[in-house]
A and B are shown apart, each in its own frame.
Chain A
Amino acid sequence: AQSVAQPEDQVNVAEGNPLTVKCTYSVSGNPYLFWYVQYPNRGLQFLLKYITGDNLVKGSYGFEAEFNKSQTSFHLKKPSALVSDSALYFCAVRDYGQNFVFGPGTRLSVLP
């Protein structure tokens, strides 16, 4: 069965510093990987996805993620954090023909 782990419940970073939100996964085949963000009282919004091709994926709002097959990771990164990036971030994975599985989420707080 597929699974997603987000090892950090909370990540705190100062505004202007780089940020990383970690995600590791387990699937039997080739993974389709996604990052979503959830702002308070709002639905989930798509940030980026990896299906195939270049391991470095660029997405919305300056975010990017790197697919690492050997480490089964898909960490979300941003070179310079903004206070407005503070939100709940979810990593998700699916294998072809399988369920779509979300991780438990990581709360990002960017401090001014």
Chain B
Amino acid sequence: EAGVAQSPRYKIIEKRQSVAFWCNPISGHATLYWYQQILGQGPKLLIQFQNNGVVDDSQLPKDRFSAERLKGVDSTLKIQPAKLEDSAVYLCASSFDAYQETQYFGPGTRLLVL
């Protein structure tokens, strides 16, 4: 089966610019996650969707980050405006169910903010 797809793989922007990332989960997976992984750290959950509804966005910096999953399938994560500290790898993952199920990760989008 096809894995989790993400694009772009790399992005370089200047601070205060906007950027968007796209994720297509594994077919049939109801739960979708966005993580931020800063170099040398473990992934940090930004937002979790169950179908097209938000389950948890408590760690999402809502003044600049937004995410949507309108049709309950693919999802976009946007940063506007970007700051230097947003430089990180943004990982998308999906799972069949929310709690016990294994998460399958995409390759990530590496963002560099200059």
Contacts and interface: CB of A to CB of B under 8 A. Distances in A.
Which DSSP category, helix, strand, loop or mixed, fits chain A's interface? strand
Interface stretch (B12-20, B74-82, B102-110): B102-110
Contacts, number: 50
A49 B105 CA distance: 15
Interface residues of B, number: 24
A102 B43 contact: yes
Interface in B74-101: 91, 93, 99-100
B23 to A, nearest CB: 11
Interface residues of A, number: 23
B99 A43 contact: no
Q: Which of B58, B103, B104 has the most CB of A within 10 A?
A: B103
Interface of A: 4, 32, 34, 36, 42-46, 49, 51, 90, 92, 94, 96-97, 99-105
